[in-house]
Structure formats: structure tokens, C-alpha cells
Amino acid sequence: MTANNGSLVYTELGFGVAEHRFFYFQKIQSVFSTFMDLSWQYSLCERRMACTDCYLEILQKNPLKHFRVYRYDGFIVFDQPNQEMRNVTHPAKQSPAVWLSLLWLAVIPVLNIFYGYLNHPTEHVYSLVTDLDRLTPFVPSFIIPYVLWYPFKAAVLIGLAFKDRAVYYRTLLALCGGLVLAYIVYALFQTTVPRPEALDEKGVLNRMIWFVYSHDEPFNCFPSIHVLTSYLMLRGARVFGRTIRWAATIMSILIIASTVLIKQHVLADVVGGILAGELLFRSAGIAVSFLRGHRMRQTLKGGERHISAE
């Protein structure tokens, strides 16, 4: 955030907060109006509900024209952050950390090992086919978005790691949780989907479909992992710019549609995948926010001890 006067301080933090916080932001504004010609490494304000007992520590450095404002649970951090604070508030700019975070993608192929063990008929195999599924046409051309699912999810996750590491971890955590949830359902409630009986083996598209059919038994259907993960990519891609966001959205929709149009899944599998994806994405968001908030509080408390020592 760039500011020429202190009036932007509480505006950036937002007016849609409790009244006592707004009053407190006004007190911060008055301090900025007085010390705008100074620069601070960082400053901490401990938030008080009544706003009658607060303190403000200012560290003088060099003249500065720009400052940032951050609001975290229990603390307000403003002005130019030091390197430790920048690592927390702008993690995607730390390229070594980004590359290390990509190592967590290795969890996905490890979890996929269980898919093969579960992809076979059990004592009880159920069918969720409806009349609407029987009316759904078989469209061989949709094998293309179906197989593009593999590089698509990898590209989105890698892009998220560089764009917004919090959303990356949230999406990855939801994806891994979705795999675990799906495998539990497959073990307890195995379903199957009937495939076309007279499929011509001529043509590139038909050969691609035969390849998929030969490497993936018609089980492990509900919920659809293709749908679940594509929906998660759609949700995570919202942090990208408009072009990439729309491209990811269209690709996700095509992949989801392909699961029923090449007879890999039925509509119930699609609904189950979307509902599971939304639930897991929300749950992962709560988990990541809690962990990041805990880390931020630890960082701020460390900075507060440093200021007190000064």
C-alpha cells in the first residue's frame, strides 16, 4: 500500500469492523500524521478492546514514502516490514521456500498407490446409474480433456505455489484429504459404471479411450476423483489473473463433463465429487488460516520482545 498521509491507514484496514476497532485505527492515524517523515523497521500495536490502554513503539530508520498495513489476530503491524515479517506476509516471493514447498506434491503419487489396491470388485458392488445417465450420450472427443486432467492439476498447483503459497497449501491439503476420503468410500461402498459394449477400436480418440479403459477398471467411481480435484483447481485458481482464472475454470468444467461423456462416471459421482471438494476446500482453509495465524503470532511476539529489549 502507498500512502501520502495517515488517513489511508484505517481505510486500508477497512470500515466494516467493530466500532472500538475503528476508533483505535483513528488513534493510529494520528500517530502517522505526526511521524510521517520517519521510517520504521516495524511497529507493533497490541489491540485493547476498550482502546484506553495501548502502546506504540516506533523505531526510527531512514526516510520512507511507502508503508504497508497488516492486521492479524491480536496485533496490528504497519509500515515497512522487516525481512522476517516479509517472509510471513509475502511467502510467494521467497523462491527457495517456494521450490521446497513443491516437494509436498510427492504426497499425491504416494496416496495414489491405494487406488490400484481398491480398484476391483468386492463382495458388494453398487450401481448409481439413473435414467438421466442412460440418456447421456457417449462423446469420444471428451477423452482429450479427460487425459489433460493429469498435467492440468500439476500446472495449477505449481502456479499456486508461486502465486499464493497459502492457497497452494490449502488446495493441496484439500486434494490429499479428498483422496483419503475417496479411498475410504471405495473400500466401504464400491460402485461401478457400465461402459459401451461395442466401441470401435479404430481412430485416435477411440484408441485413447481403450487405453484408459484398459488401465482403469470400472470401479472406484463414487465420488469421482477427477471431479473432486478439478473442482479444487477451479476454487484455487481464483487467485490468478482473469485470463488464467477463466482458462482454469473452463478446463475444470470440461474435465468434469468428460467423466460422464466417456462413461467413466455417472451424475451421482459428479455431485459427490463437487460436494466433497467444497467441504474439503473450506475445511482446509480453516486449517491453513489457523496455522498461519499461529505462526504470525509467534513472529509478532518475537518482534515485541525485541522492541522491549531495545
Q: What is the largest CA-CA distance in the chain?
A: 81
Flag whether the pTM goes above 0.85. Answer: no
Burial 12-46 (b: 16+ CB within 10 A, else e): ebeeeeeeebeebbeebbebbeebeeebbbbbbbe
Distances (CA, A) of 200 to 134, 136, 207, 276, 280: 20, 19, 8, 35, 39
Q: Which residues partner with 301 through β-bridges?
A: none
- What pLDDT score does 297 carry? 66
- What pLDDT score does 198 carry? 79
Q: Residues in the chain with pLDDT < 70?
A: 1-95, 296-310
Separation of alpha carbons 15 and 25, rounded Å: 10
- What pLDDT score does 298 carry? 67
User: Whose CA is closest to 253, among 177, 142, 150?
Assistant: 142
Q: Locate cell 504470525: which residue?
A: 296
- What pLDDT score does 41 carry? 28
- What pLDDT score does 302 carry? 57
State the Cα angle at 200 between 196 and 203, rounded to 5°: 125
Q: Locate cell 525485541: which residue?
A: 306
Separation of alpha carbons 32 and 50, rounded Å: 21
